[in-house]
Amino acid sequence: MPLLDDKLLSPTEKSIKIFQSYQKDCLAEDPYLKDFDFSSTKYLFYSSQERPHKNFLNLLKAYHQLLRKHYKGVKLISTAKIVPGSDTFNYIYQNRLQFDVLFFHDVSSEMLAALNQLAVCAINPTLFEGGFPFTFLEAYTVGTPSVMSHIPVVTEIIQDANLQKTMLFDPYKIEDIVKKTAWAIDNCEELYELQKPIYERLSQRSWANVTNEYIKLMEAVGSSQKKH
C-alpha cells in the first residue's frame, strides 16, 4: 500500500507523524515513551528553558493540583532540560510525577510546531520577559490557545479586563494558576476564539517594534543600575 502523501494529511495528522518520527529517533531507548500513544493524549505545553524567572516550580505545583485534586487528565510537556538535583527535578520525583511531566529538549522547529499544535493549551508562567511572550504566537498560529502570567509586558498587549480575567494568572499564586488553567483545559476552543484579536494585533507588529522594546528595556535597566 503506497504511503499517504503528506500534502493530503491534516495539520493534526502531520503533527502526529512528526511526533512518531521523533519517538523513533530520540525515544527508542525509553521504555515508557518509545511506544506511548501521543495522538490521543491531552497535554499542556510550556516551550521554555529552565531558568529562575521561568517559574517552573510554581507551574509544577499548580499542575500537581490539576492532576491529583481537580482530576484533569492531562500531561505537562516542556522543552526544558532539567538538571538532576534541581528543585524542579526533586519536586517531580518526590511527588511521583515523572510519568506525567515530560521533557523533550533540543527539538527541531518542526517538532516544536507539532508540540504546540497537539497541545490542548500552551502555558507560560514566566515572572519576567523583555517583551510579550512569543510562546503565544507559536501556539496560536497552529490552533492552540494560551494561558499566561499577568505581568506588565502582557497586560500592555492584553488590555481587555474580561480577557485578562480569563487567560491571565498571578504567577506567584498557585491557586490562580490552577483556576485559569483548569478553565482553559475545559474550554480550549472558546478561549482560542476569544484570543483572535490578540493574534491579529500581534501579527501587525514588526521585528523593529520588538527590537525597540528590548532597547528601551536595556536602557531602563542601565539607568537603574547607575542610580545605585
**Domain that residue 137 falls in:** 6-227
Model confidence over 28-86: pLDDT tens digits? 999 999 988 888 899 999 999 988 899 999 999 999 999 999 999 999 999 999 999 99
Are the CB atoms for 127 and 53 separated by under 8 Å? Answer: yes
* Residue 120 binned pLDDT confidence (cut-offs 50, 70, 90): very high
Q: Cα-flanking dihedrals φ and ψ of residue 147, to 5°?
A: -125, 150
pLDDT tens for residues 14-24? 999 999 999 99
CA distance 82 to 100: 14
Backbone angles phi, psi at 78, to 5 degrees: -140, 160
The answer to whether 116 and 138 are in contact (CB under 8 A) is yes
Does residue 1 lie within any of the structural domains?
A: no
What is the reported pLDDT for 9?
83
146 strand-pairing partners: 122
Q: Is residue 96 packed enough to be buried (19+ CB in 10 Å), middle (13-18) or exposed (0-12)?
A: exposed
Does 152 map to a domain?
A: yes
pLDDT tens per residue, range 71-110: 999 999 999 999 999 999 999 999 999 999 999 988 999 9
Identify whether 124 is part of a domain. yes
Domain count, the chain: 1
CATH number at residue 174: 3.40.50.2000
- Look up cell 482530576; give the residue: 71
